[in-house]
Amino acid sequence: MQKQKTITGLLLIFAALTFLLSWWLMPDPGTVDTVHILQIVKQERTAVLSSVVIQITSSVLYVLAMLLVVKLIFPQLKALIGIALLSIGAMGLCADAFFHLLAWFMTDDSVTIQRDVIKVMDFMQTEGLIFLVPLLLPLFFGGLILAMGLHKQNIISRKSQIIFIIAFLAGIITAVATKLQLHYLQIPILAILALFATGQVLIGFELIKTTKQLHLKYSRNKILIQVNQ
C-alpha cells in the first residue's frame, strides 16, 4: 500500500512535468494565428515532434495516476469529481497533441503551403477547438477540485489549492487583458501552465510525504507494542 502511494505520487509528478515540458517545447504556446503557427512550427519541427510524443506520454501518466488514486484512497464525491475531470482532461491533452502533429506534418518540405492547407489549419484553430476545449479544460478544473477533495479527506494540505487559484486568476487577468489589448497585464501562457503543473506536482509530493509519515507512525507504534510486551 505504501509503495503504491509513492508510485501514485511519482506518476502525478511526472505527468505534470511532462505536461509542462511538452508546452515548453512548443514555440509560442497559446497562439491561434494560423499563418504564424505554420511559420514557427516550420522553424522548430524537431521540438514540435518531441512535444507531441511527450504530450501523449503525459496524458497516459495522468490516467495511470488517477486510476491508482481511485484504488488507494477510496475518494469521496469531491475528490472523485476531480479524478473524473482530470481523466477527461488527459483525453483532451492527448487530442491536442494530434492538433500539433497535424501542424508538424503540414510544415514538411513535401507539403506545399497554399490556400487549402491554411484553410485546414484555420478550421483546426477555430471550429475544431469547439471539440477540443471541452475535453482540455477539465484538466485544469480537475486539479483544483481534486486538491479540494483530497484536503477534505485530510490527505494533503491547502497549498496546491492556493496555487491552482492563483493560476486561474492569472488566466482570467490575461484573457481580459488580451481582450482589452492591455499588453502590460498579459501573463505568459507558459507561466500560467507552469502554475497548474506546480499544483499537480505538489499533490504528488504530498501523497508521497503522507505515505512516509504513515510508515513512520506505523513503525513507531510497532516498536512501542514490542517494548510493552
pLDDT in tens, 167-199: 999 999 999 998 888 887 889 999 999 999 999
d(CA 57, CA 52): 9
Reported confidence tier of residue 1, pLDDT bands at 50, 70, 90: low
pLDDT exceeds cutoff 70 at 211:
no
Confidence at residue 221, expressed as pLDDT on a 0 to 100 scale: 44
Confidence at residue 67, expressed as pLDDT on a 0 to 100 scale: 95
Residue 215 or residue 157, greater confidence:
157
d(CA 73, CA 226): 29
Reported confidence tier of residue 135, pLDDT bands at 50, 70, 90: very high
Confidence at residue 185, expressed as pLDDT on a 0 to 100 scale: 81
In this predicted model, what pLDDT tens digit does every residue of 112-131 receive, in sequence order? 777 778 888 889 888 899 99
Q: Which three cell numbers stand for residue 30?
A: 497559446
Q: Which three cell numbers stand for residue 186?
A: 498579459
Is-above-0.75 flag for pTM?
Answer: yes
d(CA 47, CA 40): 11
d(CA 189, CA 105): 24
For the chain, give the percent of residues with pLDDT over 90. Answer: 66
> Which amino acid, 141?
F
- Calculate mean pLDDT across residues 16-31: 93
Confidence at residue 35, expressed as pLDDT on a 0 to 100 scale: 82
Confidence at residue 228, expressed as pLDDT on a 0 to 100 scale: 53
